[in-house]
Structure 1
Amino acid sequence: MDRTIKITIVEDEMVIGANISLQLSSLGYEITGILPRGKEVLAHVKQNDPDIILMDINLKGEWDGIQTAEHLQKEHTIPIIYLTANADEHHFNRAKATNPYAFISKPFKKLDLQRAVELTINHIQNETDNTTAIQETAAPFILSDSIFVRHHEKMVKVVIQDILYIEAERNYCRIHSKGKEYLLVMTLKDMDDKLPNKHFLRIHRSYIINISQIDEVAQSHVVISKKAIPVSKAQREELLKRLQTI
């Protein structure tokens, strides 16, 4: 990137936050702020528009770091790097569901921090490069029984019944169909608004599924074509209702 990368630090131990800030500033990054509470992050992000957020998982207060990330991702697609002194399986799985770009275990060295940030920037640049390769006209034409998507400069017909699930990838969504995948310049919310409700249900902030393609239903996820897809608590009841009507 040609401009200075802006980083927000969310850390309730201010000595650690200040130390991270000094280290990143010495590497040439701009620190937009050090925030001790998750609920402060949303307003800060709207005002400062950071490129990366360093998020302590074990924040004190009403929201821990993972809950803060979940709230943040409802409105923003900012890469998150988690800081944690507690890397147990439960926290890791919760954190993993928010698709972080990296984990840094406390205590960490300056080199660990530097490499995590550099890898994240590299991912951001690659995503930007890939975006230019996908035409902005790649929005699909959605009919009652099929979707036409742009693929290699052509519009390709994807039969709705063949779609397994659709996954959010930042400002894109990826259609997983039988044997093929298609990446579209379209948010999952926009896709959800256009798809026929008869076949599809958004069961998680990152996933829309084709209900008829479900192989298994578990307490917290469904399985489609050997892929375990999480189901949010809010959507589980609706999913069970829809399954009863098939």
Structure 2
Amino acid sequence: MKRKILIVEDESIIALNIKETLIHFDYDVVGIAANGERALHLAKTKNPDLILMDITLQDREDGIAVAEAISGTLSAPIVFLTANDKNKTIERAINIKPYGYILKPFKEIELKTAVEIALKTFSENQKLSSEITDVKSENISLQNKLAVEQQASERFITLRHGYIYDNENSVLLFNGATFKLKDKENKLLKLLMKNLGKIVTVERIEDFVWDGELVGEGALRSLMFRLRQKLPKDFITCHSKIGYKITL
């Protein structure tokens, strides 16, 4: 697919020459704008892959300010075009982190090279940003897992709604007192707490609570119903056709 380029240039002859050059190099020119308002409109509606931005636009409008405004709404590399080689102008342009800067007049090969470098660099930066996001997400997931495992290894685990689980004695506490549960209810709770934050399958629960004894399919449902009736609604979550879990 051809890469889409928006030209923001107030001198029509220069803009048309740039357009012809880009088409010759097999790019798709999605529009030409001579001012900031038109440039913003085309950037939003055409979603270009790259923007060639003249620093001085129609009626002496500031192209750098226009580029900054576009950057706030569109993620695309910007390459500046200018006949102004003053240090202050260059410094201002650099501050918005463009992907290129071409001084007029320029040769066709210079334009082609600047566009190709900008597109490649932008693509690599996007890929790197995505990889960094994935690493951060994985790191957060790992930290959460470690936090759960650390909690599970401690004697007293703070749960929702003010409940506390005593790992050493395998009992649930509420308001400083042992929460009254029947034997199988306590056994079921103990298994879920050993696997805090993880879904425990129906088969594993049945095997643990009934010590491998074969029971009817309604036995666990009945036991779980009685236990959940004694606790807050979201204390034990059901995962349809898979199992149950307790989350911190």
| 2:47/2:74 contact within 8 Å kept | no
CA distance in 1, matches of 2:133, 2:89: 38
- What is aligned with 1:29? 27
The residue aligned with 2:125 is 127
| 1:7 partnered with 2:25 | no
Counterpart of 1:88 in structure 2 is: 86
Match of 2:74 among 71, 76, 79: 76
User: For 1:132 and 1:60, how far apart are their aligned partners in 2?
Assistant: 38
Q: Unaligned 5+ residue runs, structure 2?
A: 145-248
- Return 5+ residue gaps in structure 1 as ranges: 140-148, 157-246
Query: What amino acid is the match of 1:82?
Result: F
Contact 2:77–2:119 (8 Å) recurs in 1: no
Q: Is the CA contact 1:101–1:120 (under 8 Å) kept in the aligned structure 2?
A: yes
Tell me the TM-score normalized by structure 2: 0.54
Deviates more, 1:4-13 or 1:36-45: 36-45
**Aligned-residue offset at 1:20:** 0.3
* Greater helix share, structure number: 2
Report the alpha carbon displacement of residue 154 of structure 1 after superposing the two structures with TM: 5.0
User: Does 2:139 align with 1:150?
Assistant: yes
- Structure 2 counterpart of 1:237: none
> 2:63 maps to which residue?
65
Contact 1:39 1:63 in 2 (8 A): no
Structure 1's 138 and 36: CA in aligned 2 closer, same or farther, altered over 3 A? same
Residues 161-172 of structure 1 correspond to what in structure 2 (within 5 A)?
none
Task: Give the alignment's TM-score, normalised by structure 1.
Answer: 0.54
Structure 1 residue 137: Cα displacement: 7.5
Separation (CA, whole Å) in 2 of partners of 1:132 and 1:72: 22
- For 1:161-240, what aligned pairs fall within 5 Å after superposition? none
Listed one character per residue, the Cα deviations across residues 75-100 of structure 1 (whole Å, up to 9, x for unaligned) are 22221000010010111111111110
From 11, 15, 18, the counterpart of 2:16: 18
Identity of aligned residues (%): 35
Residue 16 of structure 1 and its aligned partner are, at CA, apart by 0.2
Distance (whole Å) between structure 1 residues aligned to residue 59 and residue 108 of structure 2: 27
How far apart, CA to CA, are the structure 2 residues paired with 1:132 and 1:90? 34
Q: Secondary structure at the match of 2:65?
A: helix
> Which residue in the other structure is 1:113 paired with?
111
Post-superposition CA distance 1:177-200 (Å, at most 9, x none): xxxxxxxxxxxxxxxxxxxxxxxx
**Larger Rg: 1 or 2?**
2
Letter in 2 for 1:150: N
Relative contact order: is structure 1 or structure 2 higher (C-alpha 8 Å, sep ≥ 6)? 2
Instruction: Give the distance between the partners of 1:75 and 1:87, measured in 2 at CA.
Output: 28
Shift of 1:62: 6.6
CA distance in 1 between partners of 2:85 and 2:9 (Å) = 16
Q: Secondary structure at the match of 1:150?
A: helix
Give, in angstroms, the shift of residue 61 of structure 1: 3.0
Question: What's the offset of the Cα at 1:19?
Answer: 0.2
Q: CA deviation at 1:69?
A: 0.8
Give the match's secondary structure for 1:86: coil
Residues matched between the structures, number = 144
Q: Which amino acid aligns with 2:66?
A: T
Amino acid in the other structure paired with 1:35: A
Give 1:31 deviation, angstroms. 0.1
CA offsets 1:111-157 (integer angstroms, 9 cap, x no match): 10010011011112212332443354835xxxxxxxxx938x8549x
